[in-house]
Amino acid sequence: MNHRLNNEWESVIGLEVHVQLSTNTKMFCSCKWSYGELPNTLTCPRCLGMPGALPVVNKKAIEYAITIGHALNCKIRSETTFSRKNYFYPDLPKGYQISQFNDPICEKGFLQINDSDGIKKIGITRAHMEEDAGKLIHDLGTSSLVDLNRCGTPLVEIVSEPDLRNAKQARQYLDRLKQTIQYTGVSDCDMEKGNLRCDANISVRKKGQKDFGTRTEIKNLNSFRFVERAINYEINRHISLIEDGGKIDQCTMMWDENKGKTYIIRTKEEAHDYRYFPEPDIPPLSISNQLINDIKMTLKELPSDKEKRFVDEYNIKLSDAIIFVKDKKLANFYESICKSSGLPHLASKWILGEVLRLLKEYKITIDECPVSVEQLSGLLKQIDQNVITNANAKNIFNIMIETNDDAVAIIEREGFSLNEYSDSIEEIVLTVFKDNPEEADRFKNGEQKLLGFFMGQVMKITKGRVDPTSVSKIIGKLI
């Protein structure tokens, strides 16, 4: 779509990602928070901005923010402050948002993505804390309603450097960022629930130009597919407008997925428009180096580390490891199979093949897979021990799905074992030769392609319950 980018033009993209933290209570009050409750039932005087109600910082939210900072290779501040960001909107009852401006808790980090040209490092400018606003419901005709349940929930806003150069890189960055945060356990990043939201800043410039072009910001993109489409559209809009003699106005946009285009909602605010000033009700926070280091020591294995370990420990391809690690639960399923069966290569082949096919066909997650770790491990062991053929293993797998029986029970009940015909393979091969004398003579005289014909006849008679390698050797010996 962006063919011009390869020639004259270059795009410059930076992303702002809001992550809602999975704390039990809100950022500055003790209100419980959970998704899907009746509107305006999870509120109190503090999150409603009532006069005299003072904020109290959620310690767990601070610890979660530090965890994100470590995961993103950030510098963690031991002294951090909150500010008031002033703007008026119906879902912001105080008339301001408590955020961080001058002293963000995390800054100067990076995240690496696997780009087509190799590993690319994307800078993280800052990851700062703030409270969320409420939610406006507009689809009611002439009026709107406001639900303040979400108001005051803790967010971390992660701001990237303008290091991304196309929509594909932006998608890779978002995928890796989402995986990384999910692996830390501080947020589920469920976009359907609004627990991860993205704003994209886009500008274009001629290749070789050092100065940035005028940027536009696309707000509240709630799916990664929308992010890609919106960025591509906006890049082309910028280039077309400039080439036609126009100029880009700095403004805030929204993405209309139905129409496949962006539209302006307001001229872009600068920092001074928000009249930031230090939050008078929250003194500067001092965070001990001991706490910062303790949190770092408890950091869970991150996606990039797990990918490398899977490649080194299980000797699988990096491309396969990336698929597993993309879904933490799938990665755990794979590793459990490896430990249970001792067959990492076979496990990789089967999960990437039959298991993912099953999940796609039934539209389920790995948590809902009807074949357990123990059952699949048992099946893989039967394949490895040459008890069954790979083809019949797939039949057994399908029976497992329907019956929930173990592989050994199905093999014995259905007669899938290769041992069933082990003593009679030579007799079966001789019968096939006798029934097909013309083909046997041609094969004997060097027509090697007929091996497949005889193999097929033997497999048909035995219903595939013999080892193909053994059959091939016996055919060669008897001919």
> Which candidate, 394, 12, 372, 1, places its Cα nearest to that of 170?
12
Beta-carbon count within 10 A of 395 CB: 16
- Tabulate helix, strand, coil % of the chain (nearest 5): 45, 20, 35
Give the DSSP H/E element, type plus range, for residue 113: strand 106-115
Alpha carbon dihedral 458, 464, 468, 473, in 10-degree steps, equals: -30
DSSP assignment string, 357-387: HHHHHHT--GGG-SS-HHHHHHHHHHHHTTS
Cα-based distances in Å from 441 to 268, 448, 452, 459, 477: 84, 11, 15, 21, 15
User: What one-character DSSP code corresponds to residue 249?
Assistant: P
Gap between the Cα atoms of 309 and 315, Å rounded: 9
Which amino acid does the sequence have at 314?
Y
Could you tell me which residues come within 8 angstroms of residue 190 by beta carbon, excluding any fewer than 6 positions away?
196
pLDDT of residue 1: 47
> Which candidate, 175, 229, 204, places its Cα nearest to that of 17?
175
pLDDT digits (tens, 9 = 90+) for 107-166: 999 999 988 778 899 999 999 999 999 998 887 777 889 999 999 999 999 999 999 999
Identify the burial level of 286 via C-beta atoms within 10 angstroms of its C-beta, where 0-12 means exposed, 13-18 middle and 19 or more buried.
exposed
Which amino acid does the sequence have at 197?
R
Q: β-strands 106-115, 75-76: how paired?
A: antiparallel
pLDDT of residue 421: 57
Gap between the Cα atoms of 303 and 313, Å rounded: 15
Return contacts of 414-418, CB within 8 angstroms, 24+ apart.
Answer: 415/465, 416/388, 416/392, 416/465, 417/387, 417/388, 417/465, 418/386, 418/387, 418/388, 418/389, 418/465, 418/466, 418/467, 418/470
pLDDT one digit per residue (tens) for the chain, 479 residues? 454 566 789 999 999 999 999 999 999 999 999 998 999 999 999 999 999 999 999 999 999 999 999 999 999 999 999 999 998 888 999 999 999 999 999 999 999 998 877 889 999 999 999 999 999 888 777 788 999 999 999 999 999 999 999 999 999 999 999 999 999 999 999 998 999 999 999 999 999 899 999 999 999 898 999 999 999 999 999 999 999 999 999 999 999 999 999 999 888 667 678 899 999 999 999 999 999 999 999 999 999 999 999 999 999 999 999 999 999 999 999 999 999 999 999 999 999 999 999 999 999 999 999 999 999 999 999 999 888 888 889 999 999 999 999 999 998 888 777 655 556 777 787 888 888 888 888 888 888 888 888 888 877 887 776 767 777 777 777 76
Gap between the Cα atoms of 317 and 9, Å rounded: 36
Written as six digits, the tokens of 115 are 């780009």
| Number of Cα atoms under 13 Å in the Cβ half of residue 115 | 17
Please name each of the domains of the chain with its CATH number: 3-296 (no CATH), 327-416 (no CATH), 421-478 (1.10.10.410)
User: What one-character DSSP code corresponds to residue 271?
Assistant: G
Q: Find where tokens 């009940």 sit.
A: 413
Cα-based distances in Å from 384 to 162, 192, 209, 358, 419: 50, 42, 59, 22, 14
pLDDT digits (tens, 9 = 90+) for 373-431: 999 999 999 999 888 888 889 999 999 999 999 999 998 888 777 655 556 777 787 88
Gap between the Cα atoms of 263 and 216, Å rounded: 11
Beta strands of 301-408 (E only): which ranges? none
Helix/strand/coil for 428: helix
Whether the CB-CB separation of 56 and 29 falls below 8 Å is answered with: yes
Gap between the Cα atoms of 173 and 204, Å rounded: 19
Helix and strand numbers (H, E) in the chain are 16, 16
Beta strands of 185-248 (E only): which ranges? 196-206, 216-221
Give the DSSP H/E element, type plus range, for residue 180: helix 167-184
Say what the pTM is.
0.84
pLDDT of residue 419: 57
Helix/strand/coil for 97: strand
> Which candidate, 333, 320, 340, 404, places its Cα nearest to that of 365?
333
Whether the CB-CB separation of 233 and 262 falls below 8 Å is answered with: yes
Gap between the Cα atoms of 473 and 420, Å rounded: 18
